[in-house]
Chain A
Amino acid sequence: MDEHRFKKRTIFLWFYIVFALLPIYWMLNMSLRTNEEILSTFSLFPKHLTFANYMTIFTDVSWYSGYINSLIYVAINTAISVLVALPAAYAFSRFSFLGDKHVFFWLLTNRMTPPAVFLLPFFQLYTTVGLMDTHIAVALSHLLFNVPLAVWILEGFMSGIPREIDETAYIDGYSFPRFFITIFMPLIKAGVGVTAFFCFMFSWVELLLARTLTSVNAKPIVATMTRTVSASGMDWATLAAAGVLTIVPGAIVIWFVRHYIAKGFAMGRV
């Protein structure tokens, strides 16, 4: 019975992986062909393999600087988000205080503002404080949706850790910072890994705010990509190549945090 069930799940998993990879394969396929070939023929493999699309990106400074800019502000944003969210999530999961439930829900409401109209005030605000076209500006504006997310995810994981662990540590004479770093952090590694990945991901793919707050110096890759749409038609091949390259940094990030996600609680107790 167990054996049978296990097989069913494996089949489902393979089915899903194929479903997930096919569009990505199609993007890879497009990135290795010319625009004429993409639009004229259907083929499972590129007939005339070309790396010209990738060369365009690697040799043109306005293309590859987009990746560097994005990485800078995403890294700043992820670091700040996780650092400020950790103590707050601990407070929400362990104590009750005046207005705690309201503040907790209010945090999430910041993710609910439809961007179209909110872009103009953002532009005005960051122009006023003199941060336009800097990496800091984008990183700060992305805190709006990443910090609430980080607090919510971390709170979920912290609430799963029994409170007796805290109490035992305090009885053993641990101070709060020492307890938090040496005992509590290892217990919620899975949560920190997931949180860091999601902060990275949401900041990495966000287009509207990043495009509004930058012009040249901090222009992110997602904004650079929009120029493949021009009067002379779509540049499908270059866009596909740029798309393939945008996956790479995130895949590396998840490769690094995979242990924290996969091992979770078991690792913390060792």
Chain B
Amino acid sequence: MKPVNQKAWFLILPVLVCVAFSAIIPLMTVVNYSVQDIISPERRVFVGTEWFASVMRDPDLHEALWRQIVFSFSVLACEIPLGILLALSMPAEGWRASITLVVVALSLLIPWNVVGTIWQIYGRADIGLMGATLQLMNIDYNYTGNATDAWLTVLLMDIWHWTPLVALLCFAGLRSIPDAYYQAAQIDGASKLDVFRFIQLPKMRGVLIIAVLLRFMDSFMIYTEPFVLTGGGPGNATTFLSQYLTQKAVGQFDLGPAAAFSLIYFLIILLLCFILYNWMQQVGTQAKEQIHG
């Protein structure tokens, strides 16, 4: 168990000051908007929880929410195993390791609006590499007209864009395992799978929790890339929550309902992350007991 030491609060004080400055005031302002009907900057009426009730009954929102949940869990299901596998495959040292690190990280460094634009051309059957290749293979692919193609393209783009984040975190986690652990495993005659199951995975737990939570919350708020690539279409196939929210906030100038929507949105992410976090903590502790017991 960790020793109790209340003085540790002084160590986290700088962080609290930095974050609270940009966190609490904007959040309170949004809470303030969400309970008012803002007709003009001078005329505001207190409406209580009316916006919350109407937002929660909105059928379009329910649809966007389901689409969002399916998308986010698909992202996790693809990117986490792929990222772990990639981290295990990357060379550990030497110039090969350096080159691989840089190449793998490249896609993270492209601004999100450019990512969408590149894939917009990349996926086109007439002038884009991926679209043209699929055409050559006689696959009928059209991300602007076909809802499934559009959804898959957004998913593929997200995998391309964000798997490196998972991979880099896992790679750094793997590199911090002392050699002694591997030597001990070798003496015990452990197979590769055993090494992964009992040494690498438990040691990566910390970074994996971060990777899962980050990918979950960021994919839940995905906006720029699908907006540029498909504009939410065809139909509503790729209109995820934040795009629906932006349509409401910017398109219709309804600050009150949009603020209420934002807060509900925030609470949904918070709840799901909380469940994920506790679940992963529990799984980790159980595994630890299994190993020691």
Contact = CB atoms under 8 A, between A and B. Distances in A.
B22 A140 contact: yes
What interface size band does chain B fall in? 35 or more
B15 A194 contact: no
Contacts of B258: 116-117
A118 B25 contact: no
Interface stretch (A46-54, A56-64, A148-156): A148-156
Contact of A105 (B21, B177, B274): B274
B172 A151 contact: no
B227 to A, nearest CB: 11
Contacts of A215: none
Contacts of A73: none
A11 to B, nearest CB: 9
Nearest to A152: B210
Contacts of B109: 201, 204-205, 246-247, 249-251
A76 to B, nearest CB: 12
B54 interface: no
B12 interface: yes
Given A13-B100, A23-B160, A113-B27, A251 B105 contact: yes
Contact of B118 (A120, A151, A243, A263): A243
Interface string A95-138: 11110100101011111111111101110110000000000000
Contacts of A25: 129
A42 B134 CA distance: 14
Interface in B78-137: 82, 85-86, 88-90, 92-93, 97-98, 100-114, 117-119, 121-122, 126-130, 132
A114 B21 contact: no
B57 interface: no
Interface residues of A, number: 108
A160 B203 contact: yes
A243 B89 contact: no
A181 interface: no
Interface string A52-87: 000000000000000000000000000010011101
A265 B176 contact: yes
B4 A96 contact: yes
A184 interface: no
Contact of B22 (A12, A143, A246): A143
Interface in B30-59: 30, 33
A125 B22 CA distance: 9
Contacts, number: 309
A262 interface: yes
Q: Which of A105, A114, A243 is most buried by chain B, counting CB atoms within 10 A of its CB?
A: A114
Contacts of A95: 2-5, 8
Given A26-B118, A97-B9, A149-B214, A255 B98 contact: yes
A265 B246 CA distance: 45
A49 to B, nearest CB: 17
B207 A23 contact: no
A263 B175 contact: yes
A84 B14 contact: yes
A39 B210 contact: no
B101 A262 contact: yes
A20 B104 contact: yes
Secondary structure at the A interface, as helix, strand, loop or mixed, is helix
A178 B23 CA distance: 33
A22 interface: yes
B171 interface: yes
Interface of A: 2, 5, 9-10, 12-13, 16-17, 19-27, 30, 38-42, 44, 80, 83-85, 87-88, 90-92, 94-98, 100, 103, 105, 107-118, 120-122, 124-125, 140-141, 143-144, 147-149, 151-153, 155-157, 159-160, 190-191, 193-194, 197-198, 201, 204-205, 207, 221-222, 225-226, 234, 236, 239-240, 242-243, 246-247, 249-251, 254-255, 258, 261-266, 269
Interface of B: 1-9, 11-12, 14-16, 18-19, 21-23, 25-27, 29-30, 33, 82, 85-86, 88-90, 92-93, 97-98, 100-114, 117-119, 121-122, 126-130, 132, 160, 164-165, 168-169, 171-173, 175-179, 192, 203, 206-207, 209-210, 213-214, 217-218, 221, 223-224, 241-242, 245-246, 249-250, 255, 258-259, 261-262, 265-266, 269-270, 273-274, 277
21 contacts: A9-B88, A12-B85, A16-B89, A16-B104, A20-B103, A20-B164, A26-B118, A26-B121, A80-B18, A83-B14, A88-B14, A90-B11, A91-B8, A121-B30, A153-B169, A198-B165, A236-B117, A239-B117, A247-B109, A249-B109, A261-B101
Given A94-B2, A121-B27, A207-B224, 18 more contacts: A20-B160, A23-B130, A27-B118, A39-B127, A88-B11, A109-B273, A112-B269, A117-B262, A118-B27, A121-B29, A125-B22, A143-B18, A201-B109, A222-B113, A240-B118, A250-B109, A251-B106, A258-B102
